[in-house]
């Protein structure tokens, strides 16, 4: 249900919240299905069909990425966008930026999952994504930071609720952690392969 102002314009952008919430559930189902499949491969090895594309080693990062980034990340986007709008009593500063974070985040997860199955990985637990996908994460994350901080700066509520401070700390800490944990040198600009620094 949309919340409208007296002028009849929609006051908050709940569409982006709904999109992230729905995709959070979709990624939870995908991630859990892949998890059950790879667990089944341990019990019945013939399920990998003697193909490297169905092997446990390639599907495990698909499982962890779908659950951590797909389910968890989408849930955090959804809740942060909901909370910042309600506690600041203002709409997100840009529907376009919000839409970019949604489509960019979904593209990151899909590209990462495809690259794992094809064998492209940095071989580091929970930081498997190769450098082009890492750069895309940084672009989406900076857009997310600008959107979140911009909405707080445009708030109608004089008080900044503590939840927004926690979300802001999470956004900044994740940006720093991802940046320094995923430093890599590509072997060339036209290759997915890179080596960790």
Q: Where residue 123 falls among pLDDT bands split at 50, 70, 90?
A: confident
For residues 74 and 20, what is the distance between their CA atoms, to the nearest angstrom?
Answer: 5
Task: Give domain status of residue 58, yes or no.
Answer: yes
**For range 26-49, the mean pLDDT:** 97
Across the range 137-141, mean pLDDT stands at 98
Residue 5 within any structural domain of the chain? no
Beta carbons of 192 and 115 less than 8 angstroms apart: yes
Structure tokens at 164: 């927004």
How sure is the predictor about 59, in pLDDT bands with cuts at 50, 70 and 90?
Answer: very high
Cβ count near 36 (within 10 Å): 11
Assigned domain for 3 exists: no
**Burial (CB count within 10 angstroms: exposed 0-12, middle 13-18, buried 19+), residue 3:** exposed
pLDDT-wise least confident of 70-79, 135-144, 149-158, 178-187? 178-187
- Average confidence (pLDDT) over 90-103: 98
103-117 tens-digit pLDDT: 999 999 999 999 999
Instruction: Report whether pLDDT(188) > 80.
Output: yes
- Is residue 73 in a domain? yes
Q: What whole-number distance in Å separates Cα of residue 101 and Cα of residue 117? A: 24
Could you tell me the two tokens for 91?
Answer: 């709409």
pLDDT bracket for residue 191 (50, 70, 90): confident
Mean per-residue pLDDT over the chain, rounded: 94
Specify the CATH number for the domain of residue 38: 1.20.210.10
For residue 97, what pLDDT is reported?
98
d(CA 3, CA 128): 41
Helix (H), strand (E) at residue 195: strand 194-196
Identify the three-state secondary structure at position 194: strand
Quick check: helix, strand or coil at residue 3?
A: coil
129 with 75: CB under 8 angstroms? no
CB 113 within 8 A of CB 65: yes
Q: What is the pLDDT of residue 4?
A: 58
Please check the confidence at residue 9 and state whether its pLDDT lies above 80.
no
Phi first, then psi: give them for residue 108, nearest 5 degrees: -60, -45
Q: How many domains does the chain have?
A: 1
Give the pLDDT of residue 119.
94
In a domain, 75, yes or no: yes
Token look-up 């082009």 returns: 132
Strand partners, 186: 194
Residue 192 in domain: no
In terms of residue numbers, what domain contains 180? 14-185
The pLDDT value given to residue 5: 57
pLDDT at 18 over 80: yes
Q: How confident is the model at residue 156 (pLDDT cuts 50, 70, 90)?
A: very high
Token pair in block for residue 129:
């994504």
Q: Is residue 30 part of a domain?
A: yes
| pTM metric for this prediction | 0.92
Q: Is residue 4 part of a domain?
A: no
């Amino acid at each position: 249900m949309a919340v409208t102002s007296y002028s009849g314009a929609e006051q908050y952008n709940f569409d982006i919240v709904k999109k992230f919430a729905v995709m959070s559930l979709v990624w939870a189902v995908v991630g859990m299905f892949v998890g059950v499949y790879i667990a089944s491969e341990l019990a019945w090895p013939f399920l990998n069909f003697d193909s490297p594309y169905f092997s446990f080693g390639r599907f495990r990062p698909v499982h962890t990425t779908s659950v951590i980034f797909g389910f968890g990340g989408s849930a955090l986007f959804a809740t942060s966008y909901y909370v910042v709008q309600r506690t600041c009593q203002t709409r997100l500063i840009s529907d376009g930026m919000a839409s970019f974070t949604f489509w960019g985040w979904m593209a990151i997860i899909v590209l990462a999952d495809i690259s794992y199955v094809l064998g492209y990985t940095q071989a580091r637990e929970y930081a498997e994504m190769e450098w082009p996908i890492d750069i895309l994460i940084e672009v989406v994350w900076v857009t997310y930071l600008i959107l979140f901080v911009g909405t707080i700066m445009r708030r109608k509520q004089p008080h900044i609720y503590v939840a927004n401070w926690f979300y802001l700390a999470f956004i900044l800490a994740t940006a720093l952690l991802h940046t320094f944990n995923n430093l890599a040198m590509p072997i060339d600009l036209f290759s997915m392969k890179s080596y960790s620094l």
